[in-house]
């Protein structure tokens, strides 16, 4: 048996702990690090519970063996010992990303690649001064990464092509679905798309066109059903007898008429407060974690369905 190859996960919050499962279930030894003792202590029990659920619906076999591949470390330098890849998932600020990237830069070996889970801060904003900067890239997942497979690979101007190929191959191998951006753009693709929808949802709510619950229902019981297995381009290609060109001929005028001028600004405080009041009446703050677990259980069953249908990317 060849020795298991190792991957470090740096930061073990919501996203980092999901990454540990992604790599461990694919057969890698995972070396997890988080500066918070409380977080470190919670990793393995969370992973154990999640693996039990995944095993129950047939998404993993042998949860004990997967769990045994995850080790938890209390320093960054110990966590990166002998690894060929690091997935960084620390707080989303330039300061935190920059500090941890420079720390990593000082301790990683010559051919180690570092992927950052950054949701929107491009790598050029925090890796410029790193001597190994050619081996740093954004590898942006969706939360939770062990249940939602897409990852955006977003190079800094100095990230080497060969590194991007290695990351894409690794992501594919561990069961994720890599999406490659050609260059940096704020928010990348995923959050730019989500941003358009969210900005419009807030504006419709603010204008009183529909209730928060009805706007959510429009996505949950409408748009979202197709989007769980096909994107907007394929959706419209199927929604006109002559395909995408026919759809554009029939409906581009409608969409052009919907462009908001001026564009929406930041979501207003009073509208946020009203939405929060409605959401908290529906779901008290203390029930958020329970609802998150409910969401993950639904997502894992959807993943199982998609797998059985051959729809996993």
Ligand X SMILES: NC(=O)c1ccc[n+]([C@@H]2O[C@H](COP(=O)([O-])OP(=O)(O)OC[C@H]3O[C@@H](n4cnc5c(N)ncnc54)[C@H](O)[C@@H]3O)[C@@H](O)[C@H]2O)c1
If one asks whether residue 92 binds ligand X (CB under 6 A), the answer comes out as: yes
Binding to ligand X (CB under 6 A) within 238-277 occurs at none
We find the least distance from the C-beta atom of residue 177 to ligand X, in angstroms, to be 14
User: Which of 39, 51, 67, 138 forms a contact with ligand X (CB under 6 A)?
Assistant: 39
Number of residues that bind ligand X (CB under 6 A): 26
What are residue 139's DSSP bridge partners?
153
**Among 149, 200, 215, 202, residue whose Cα is nearest residue 179:** 149
Distance separating alpha carbons of residues 89 and 108, to the nearest angstrom: 16
Do residues 62 and 22 lie in contact, with contact meaning Cβ atoms separated by under 8 Å? no
If one asks whether residue 90 binds ligand X (CB under 6 A), the answer comes out as: yes
We find the least distance from the C-beta atom of residue 150 to ligand X, in angstroms, to be 10
For 82, which DSSP code?
T
3-state helix, strand, coil in the chain (%, to 5): 55, 10, 35
If one asks whether residue 100 binds ligand X (CB under 6 A), the answer comes out as: yes
User: Which of 15, 47, 59, 72 forms a contact with ligand X (CB under 6 A)?
Assistant: 15
User: Among the candidate windows 138-146, 175-183, 237-245, 272-280, which touches ligand X by CB under 6 A?
Assistant: 138-146
Burial of 83 (0-12, 13-18, 19+ CB in 10 A): buried
We find the least distance from the C-beta atom of residue 101 to ligand X, in angstroms, to be 10
3-state SS class at 245: helix
Distance separating alpha carbons of residues 259 and 267, to the nearest angstrom: 17
Give, for 31, the enclosing helix (H) or strand (E).
Answer: strand 29-33
129: left (phi over 0), alpha (psi -120 to 50) or beta: alpha
If one asks whether residue 16 binds ligand X (CB under 6 A), the answer comes out as: yes
User: Which of 13, 175, 187, 264 forms a contact with ligand X (CB under 6 A)?
Assistant: 13
**Phi, psi dihedral angles at 264 (to 5 degrees):** -65, 140
Residue nearest to ligand X (CB): 13
Cβ distance to ligand X smaller for residue 104 or 163: 104
If one asks whether residue 12 binds ligand X (CB under 6 A), the answer comes out as: yes
Cβ distance to ligand X smaller for residue 89 or 159: 89
What's the Cα-to-Cα distance from 80 to each of 72, 126, 209, 243, 258, rounded to whole Å? 11, 20, 52, 50, 50
Binding to ligand X (CB under 6 A) within 109-128 occurs at 117-119
If one asks whether residue 34 binds ligand X (CB under 6 A), the answer comes out as: yes
**Among 185, 183, 203, 174, residue whose Cα is nearest residue 263:** 203
Cβ distance to ligand X smaller for residue 21 or 247: 21
We find the least distance from the C-beta atom of residue 137 to ligand X, in angstroms, to be 14
If one asks whether residue 22 binds ligand X (CB under 6 A), the answer comes out as: no
The 155-184 contact track toward ligand X, x by CB under 6 A, reads ------------------------------
Interface with ligand X (CB under 6 A): 10-16, 33-36, 39, 89-92, 96, 99-100, 117-119, 140-143
């Amino acid at each position: 048996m060849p020795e298991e190859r190792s991957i470090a996960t740096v930061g073990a919050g919501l996203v980092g702990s999901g990454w540990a499962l992604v790599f461990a279930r694919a057969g890698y030894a995972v070396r997890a690090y988080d500066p918070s003792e409380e977080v470190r202590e919670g990793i393995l029990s969370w992973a154990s519970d999640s693996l039990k659920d995944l095993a129950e619906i047939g998404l993993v076999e042998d949860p004990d063996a997967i769990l045994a591949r995850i080790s938890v470390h209390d320093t960054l330098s110990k966590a990166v010992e002998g690894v060929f890849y690091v997935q960084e998932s620390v707080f989303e600020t330039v300061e935190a990303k920059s500090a941890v990237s420079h720390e990593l830069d000082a301790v990683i070996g010559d051919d180690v690649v570092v992927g950052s889970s950054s949701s929107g801060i491009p790598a050029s904003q925090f890796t410029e001064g790193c001597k190994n900067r050619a081996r740093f890239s954004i590898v942006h997942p969706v939360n939770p990464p062990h249940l939602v497979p897409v990852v955006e690979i977003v190079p800094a101007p100095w990230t080497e092509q060969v590194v991007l190929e290695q990351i894409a191959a690794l992501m594919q191998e561990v069961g994720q679905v890599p999406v490659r951006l050609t260059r940096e753009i704020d928010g990348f693709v995923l959050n730019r798309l989500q941003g358009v929808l969210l900005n419009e949802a807030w504006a419709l709510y603010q204008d009183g066109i529909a209730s928060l619950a009805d706007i959510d229902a429009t996505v949950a019981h409408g748009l979202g059903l197709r989007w769980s297995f096909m994107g907007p381009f394929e959706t419209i290609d199927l929604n006109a007898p002559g395909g995408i060109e026919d759809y554009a001929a029939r409906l581009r005028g409608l969409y052009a008429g919907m462009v908001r001028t001026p564009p929406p600004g930041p979501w207003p405080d009073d509208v946020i407060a009203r939405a929060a009041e409605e959401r908290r009446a529906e779901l008290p703050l203390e029930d958020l974690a329970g609802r998150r677990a409910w969401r993950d259980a639904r997502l894992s069953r959807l993943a199982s369905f998609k797998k059985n249908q051959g729809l996993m990317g």
